[in-house]
Chains A and B, each alone.
Chain A
């Protein structure tokens, strides 16, 4: 299965600044996604990162706040812009992968834990 690397693994940021998270997959994948995991809550899909075109955002998430790039089939970035303490969360990159049976599954990176002061 695909191996996903994210960086930074964690960071402490000041209010009003922006931070870009990088996601690298060790093989070409058709679809990549960005999730947010707030403390004690479930994973919430932010957007689907589309290769060569604008990302597709879920309800409640906008491009100005979470710009996403996907220049090729193995790499994507998520920027958290103009951060506030409410943005403190774990941000997870995932990719559409296949399990041994051939069924589609999502594989996740280890996540990037952001703390905004």
Chain B
């Protein structure tokens, strides 16, 4: 069964304290791994897409990496405004457009 698991469920950091979020997946054929950010009361906002093992993408304090079985979202020197839920999703092997989502990691960055 295709599955996406995110850990930890929740993470509290002090401002400036770097850390990583994990997304592990089991799919028969990866059609892309996606990271989204979701703020309370809002829809998910696209961050990154990764397609092959070894690929990396960066945006401000965020860096996403991909291996054959998992992806990491590294947050360097986070700020309170980085507080949000981070969602990971993989492309459904049976469809070009469907996504299978994990349950997310709730990140709280304290000043």
Contact = CB atoms under 8 A, between A and B. Distances in A.
A61 B72 CA distance: 32
Contacts of B99: 43, 45, 106
Interface in B42-89: 42-46, 49, 87, 89
B46 A107 contact: yes
B25 interface: no
A99 B43 CA distance: 17
Contacts of A99: 46, 49
B43 A111 contact: yes
Interface of chain A, helix or strand or loop or mixed? strand
B9 to A, nearest CB: 9
Contact of A96 (B44, B87, B97): B97
B98 interface: yes
Interface string B22-57: 000000000010101000011111100100000000
A42 B97 contact: no
A42 B87 contact: yes
Interface in A80-94: 92, 94
B73 to A, nearest CB: 16
A42 B41 contact: no
A44 B104 CA distance: 13
B44 A108 contact: yes
Most chain A C-beta atoms within 10 Å of own C-beta, residue among B36, B42, B46, B89: B46
Contacts of A103: 32, 49
Given A41-B103, A42-B103, A43-B101, A110 B43 contact: yes
Contacts of B42: 110-111
Given A48-B97, A103-B49, A106-B97, 17 more contacts: A4-B43, A33-B98, A40-B103, A41-B103, A42-B102, A42-B103, A42-B104, A44-B101, A92-B43, A92-B44, A104-B96, A105-B34, A105-B46, A106-B34, A107-B46, A108-B36, A110-B42
Interface of B: 4, 32, 34, 36, 41-46, 49, 87, 89, 96-99, 101-104
Interface of A: 1, 4, 31, 33, 40-45, 48, 92, 94, 96, 99, 101, 103-111, 113
